[in-house]
Structure 1
């Protein structure tokens, strides 16, 4: 099979027939073998009934329905496990992503040997309350990940089959799939300017809370990807630095008092009366706790069943 088209959705019953017909038209024009995998993320409208009706009209339609709303990341993760195509293309169900982009995405994955192509909605029709936070997150993600993409959160993406079968998407991490893939060893990541269409039906399902969750998920990806198998390097380094800094400040205060005593210089206040003493005490305690946290995390990591699970790309025997 050439292409698996993955469409996560939540309360999008109005747009599904038009989207399916559009996809089928593009696939027929390019003679692609394909499947359309709808994942109903616990919709409360008639979305699932529409998918069942579409199945009677289009053999390529497949569907998965969650009992409740789990989120886009869960929908993508389940769909990635089920996808069978050589190239997997994700797109939103609200008709803001154009199926006409699919042939070029497929061609570039195949001809340029890319692992991922992320869409870039250069001209957007979103309100300013959505575009400004998105730009800030894109800038922060570029800085932390080193991946030069303009639009990490674009729902229209293309993946090589191996990528979706290797990565795991959870929480709110669907917007950081290129980062997850990079940490998994897939570094051939491209970008393509795609059309962003105005929403035709319904309303957006995302609120401002997603940006807070997105930032926390970015920190999680960065930490797990870099220190997941060696937590002592992170916690231990911070702990040793904090402990040594606190010890230095404490010794400085003690040395200063001893100097005044030795030189018979009046010492105006006791060591424990100085703010620096308490700062040094906190730094020593915090450093000890961080070091112990790293030690415990290292023990947990070394006893985890997947501690020696590494991704092997090729092997000759």
Structure 2
């Protein structure tokens, strides 16, 4: 990886200082990991220095209460390779990762957890795979060192479900050790619990995705921040991802289809009841079918209107931010001398 230059304006000064663009930005979201941090920072630095890569480490503290913010401040004052981002309160891992992405300046961005279960020694392997032409390389913890009942089983079920719904064949969505090209990260916006669906978001952006087995160690310090309490939020975000993957630029296709189907069904039932009333002179006022016909017609009109509103919102989303509905990988032209 070659080096480049990035311009950074210093507040209150007119001159512009050119700083080298690092080859790698390592983003580490942190929540109460004060014991792990010194070991993690040394391991990351040792690995990347051994590869002769320029790098920066961006640690994002997500409302820690165990002294992690104070330690990060001390480390950042004495290390030129560390940038500490202290959030005002606990926002969640997705927000912490988004903050890290926003402060990263490297050509490649690597993410990993701060609990030492991900091994920084695997980073060069991910970078080598990325150089083969991929936009994202995701780690796969084949031999996880976690509890079988509370961590492994729910994870296997969740990964299977996510693969089925998103269509992105990644074995381990929950592994935080991933490498991305910076331009890919710039196209992805994170909300809710979407950090675990980054491969699916990358796929929506047209990224080439690879997966590699990585090492996984048992936790040495602290306690896990993950649990079954996140299940509902993950399911809601999964539905959001499934919708975005298929109907992001054409929401009318889903709402309009459902609306027209509902209107057609309600109209057909209404015509049948009208026929019964006019031809056979039967009373239809107390029939459940009449209520069903009215409900279907009203629901159909509402769904159709939702589709129109969603189309307007999508156009506003893309046009107001200048977001294209496509992503260009490369442009090839014939050179004429």
Does TM, scored on the shorter chain, surpass 0.5? yes
Aligned residue number for residue 281 of structure 1:
294
- Size of the aligned set, in residue pairs, is 308
Any conservation in 1 of the 2:23–2:53 contact (CA below 8 Å)? yes
Deviates more, 1:54-63 or 1:26-35: 54-63
Question: TM-score, length-normalised on structure 2?
Answer: 0.85
RMSD of the alignment, in Å? 2.1
Structure 1 residue 196 corresponds to structure 2 residue 216: yes
1:44 is matched with 65
Give the TM-score normalised by structure 1. 0.90
Give the direction of change, closer, same or farther, for the CA distance of 1:33–1:120 in structure 2 (3 Å limit): same
Counterparts of residues 249-268 of structure 1 (less than 5 Å): 249-261=269-281
Contact 1:231–1:297 (CA<8 Å) still a contact in 2? yes
Counterpart position of 2:119: 98
Q: Which moved more, 1:173-182 or 1:55-64?
A: 55-64
SS at match of 1:118: strand
What does the per-residue CA deviation read over 1:41-98, in whole Å, with 9 as the maximum and x for residues that have no partner? 1211210221223335542111101011111111111211221222211000001101
Assess, with a 3 A threshold, how the Cα gap between structure 1 residues 313 and 306 changes in structure 2: closer, same or farther: farther
Q: For residues 245-277 of structure 1, what are the alpha-carbon distances to aligned partners after superposition, in whole Å with 9 as ceiling and x for unaligned?
A: 11112222333454535xxxxx5xx32333222
For 1:141 and 1:255, the matched residues in 2 are separated by 48
| Alpha-carbon spacing, 1:283–1:14, altered in 2? closer, same or farther (3 Å) | same
Q: Which has the higher contact order (CA 8 A, sep 6+)?
A: 1
Counterparts of 1:162 and 1:237, CA distance in 2: 35
Match of 1:228 in 2: 248
Q: Retained in 2: the 8 A contact 1:40–1:48?
A: yes
Contact 1:27 1:34 in 2 (8 A): yes
The answer on whether the counterparts of 1:229 and 1:307 sit within 8 Å (CA) in structure 2 is no
Q: Which residue of 1 aligns with 2:165?
A: 144
Paired position in structure 2 for 1:240: 260
Task: Report the CA distance shift for 1:132/1:274 in structure 2 as closer, same or farther (over 3 A).
Answer: farther
Cross-structure match for 1:306: 320
CA–CA distance in structure 1, aligned partners of residues 312 and 135 of structure 2: 35
Distance of 2:60 and 2:223 partners within structure 1: 19
